[in-house]
Amino acid sequence: MAKRKNEAGEFPGLLALMRRGIDFGNLFVDTAASLCDETQNDRICGSWIAREGNRGLLIRKQGAGYTALLCDTSRCYKQIERELYVVFRRGRLTVLADDGSPGSEQFCYDSHTGLLRAGTLGLFEAEDEVLRRAACETDFNRFSYDEI
């Protein structure tokens, strides 16, 4: 009988240990998922050229989000038209409004096509891909685009 009471007395302690283990496990899974999301979102960093029009986007990581400079590229140099701050909230890359509240524009990167849809700003392609394709189309390059 004493042994049974002792086992019953240990149960709350064991249950607390189990809960703590589950809490640590959940914390680990949440942290790993957050790092995975951050790694995937970091692929938007870099220089982007609009598919239509004379615009470019320069994106870099800043703090918990990203700074995006929308540039006019119709001249020989880039001129900043607008500065945007993009954050990852609720599974989406959202452009913040001027007052810091979530805006209606969202960025969406498609890893299969390598294209970035930047809300109403349009569709953008990574500048290095555009340059590689242009280099392959010249007579100076001996390699096909697929070999690079």
Residue 104, domain CATH: 2.40.128
Residue 92 lies in a domain: yes
Strands 46-50, 79-89: pairing kind: unpaired
Owning domain of residue 24: 1-40
* Same domain? 104 vs 123: yes
* Same domain? 84 vs 134: yes
Residue 63 lies in a domain: yes
Note the pLDDT of residue 1.
47
User: Based on C-alpha coordinates, what's the Rg of the chain?
Assistant: 25
Tokens 């320069």 found at: 58
Enter the pTM of the model: 0.66
* Same domain? 63 vs 36: no
Note the pLDDT of residue 124.
92
Which comes out higher in pLDDT, residue 68 or 91?
68
Instruction: Report yes or no: 123 and 51 within 8 Å, Cβ to Cβ.
Output: yes
* Same domain? 111 vs 64: yes
* Same domain? 82 vs 16: no
Residue 50 lies in a domain: yes
